[in-house]
A and B are shown apart, each in its own frame.
Chain A
Amino acid sequence: MAIDAEQVRRIAHLARIGLAADEADRYIDDLESILTMVERMHAVDTSGVTPLAHPIDVSQPLRPDRVTESDQRDAYQADAPAVANGFYLVPRVVE
């Protein structure tokens, strides 16, 4: 399956991965070989197979609805690059 440099840049943007100009070509090769492998799996007849959501065949244990966490804001915020009035601060995301 063919992938072009534009698609690579788009995927990188969606995942917020910075790509140098010459890196896109290298990833075209990597991604194409992965997709070639996926294409080979298409040959297998899976019509009678239940889709697998998780490799472990048990169901999710549930937690009783109780508050078990105490407030540790100060400890968490000690590691944050910028805080004020209890808020985490980040670069402005709207104009």
Chain B
Amino acid sequence: MSQWETVIGLEVHVQLATASKIFSGAANRFGAEPNRQASAVDLGLPGVLPVLNEAVVRMAIRFGLAVDAEIAGTTQFARKNYFYPDLPKGYQISQLDHPIVGRGHLDIIVPGNDGDTVKTIGITRAHLEEDAGKSIHDQVPGLTAVDLNRAGTPLLEIVSEPDLRSAAEAVAYLRELHAIIRDLGISDGNMNEGSMRCDANVSIRPRGESKLGTRTEIKNLNSFRFLEKAIEFEVERQQEILESGGRIRQETRLYDAERNETRSMRSKEEAEDYRYFPDPDLLPVTITPAQIEAVRAEMPELPRARRERFMKQYGLSGYDSRMVASDHATAAYFEACVAVAGDAKLTANWVMGELASVLNREEKDIDTAPVAPAALGRLISRIQDDTISSKIAKTVFEIMVTDGGEADAIIEARGLRQMSDSGELERLVDSVIADNPDQVAQYRAGKTKLLGYFVGQIMKATGGKANPGQLNELLRARLDGGS
């Protein structure tokens, strides 16, 4: 075990899935042509006034309830002042002193060698703010091109306590947050499109020390993998500096995925001075207990409750339920599939195994899977009723993926039905035994591993259609029983 302890806190920005922006009636959609969704308010033209979107408040309350947080009775917006071309007003409307969501906590599951452990991570706060536009530096030579479509997109910034102790814990935390915001329907969580972005505050300290070390903030972490890699790199970098007698500079660092390294962006020693002050354009927002209760009444099932339900209702193991119940799209697929298939464990194996690898290969999400859950369920039920073997089922599944179609029709059309006539199988077993006297002698002399050889011969002869259970039984009876 290293003499150093890693301390990580995450700041996660979540774009809220509203129809319109946080302070204007412009559309909030990803991928529009540049500046087609930038209204006078988003552009910061003189004389305009921001008006807060009601849905944004509701979504923030939803999140707050999901992490058992205090919801503020009164919440206030503030101006965070800085200059950058993609921030047209010269300030970002954000929250400082009275965030909408106060202290809460989130349980994460940390996979380990000795099984999973549950750890509670503190959530410091979550506040509302507007996103900035985008600056593009390679569009026009020598100039910066600015697209303000994203300006005014509602963001919920979720700040964790420095409770995370490894890159793996940070990833587990981000995954759980991701699952929750998707379940809550407050964001699509699409990290490629920037719907969920993450900054990590990373420091190390000698094990046993209670004082925090100097931290660096790593920006630009737009995937779970990059978060893990960047933290691992940064921890190693800080260890090397401290072990050679150096000192960590408090600074913002950028993660470069191509080189897998972090590099200095700007020093925080000349601390940014944002000169926050309450935004005079926006009055304090009052949230009544009745409003909070109305939101509570429509809370959906969350990942943790669903994992527990799957273990109880379907008898799945902790590991299986974590794999299929954490993400709501995967859970929905599993439930539709098992309703047809019947066998929950077998269904979970197919969803985590064959289906996941096809989705991975075809770069598809589970909600656009090439095989519908009921169709996979019917295929799985053909394994259970011994119509086909698991191995043949994989072949059928591949055909369903590439050509479409139903399992039963494919099994019939290609003659894949398992050989269930024991008379025919017996004849095959007898002839293979007769044709291979040497192997039979070796088997009987104790080389029982040769059973696989006989199985292989018969599978070859039947095109894989022999019922493996029945075949093993027959072979053993013949070989062990003498004659």
Q: Which residues of A contact B (CB under 8 A)?
A: 14, 16, 53-54, 56, 58-69, 71-73, 76-77, 82, 84-94
Contact = CB atoms under 8 A, between A and B. Distances in A.
8 shortest interchain CB distances as A-B pairs: A68-B25, A65-B55, A87-B145, A86-B34, A59-B286, A62-B54, A60-B283, A69-B39
B146 interface: yes
B20 A67 contact: yes
Interface stretch (B221-229, B274-282, B316-324): B274-282
Interface in B13-54: 18-20, 24-27, 33-40, 43, 45, 51-54
Given A16-B83, A54-B280, A91 B98 contact: no
Most buried by A among B84, B135, B286: B135
B35 A76 contact: yes
Interface of B: 18-20, 24-27, 33-40, 43, 45, 51-57, 74, 76, 81, 83-85, 98, 135-137, 139-140, 142-148, 273, 275, 278, 280, 282-286
Contacts of A56: 283
Contacts of B84: 93
A60 B135 contact: no
Contact of A94 (B34, B81, B144): B144
A84 B74 CA distance: 44
Contacts of A87: 34-35, 136, 139-140, 145-147
B143 to A, nearest CB: 5
Contacts of B83: 16
22 contacts: A14-B81, A14-B275, A53-B76, A54-B283, A56-B283, A60-B52, A60-B285, A60-B286, A62-B52, A62-B54, A63-B25, A67-B27, A69-B20, A69-B26, A76-B38, A76-B40, A77-B35, A82-B143, A88-B146, A89-B140, A94-B137, A94-B144
A84 B141 CA distance: 12
B276 to A, nearest CB: 12
User: SS class of chain B's interface: helix, strand, loop or mixed?
Assistant: loop
Given A14-B273, A53-B98, A62 B283 contact: no
B52 A90 contact: no
A2 B285 CA distance: 38
B196 to A, nearest CB: 20
A76 B34 CA distance: 13
A68 to B, nearest CB: 3
Contacts of A94: 137, 144
A91 B144 contact: yes
B366 to A, nearest CB: 28
A82 to B, nearest CB: 7
A59 B143 contact: no
A66 B55 CA distance: 10
A73 B280 contact: no
A92 B278 contact: no
B38 A73 contact: yes
Contacts of A77: 35
Contacts of A84: 139-140, 145
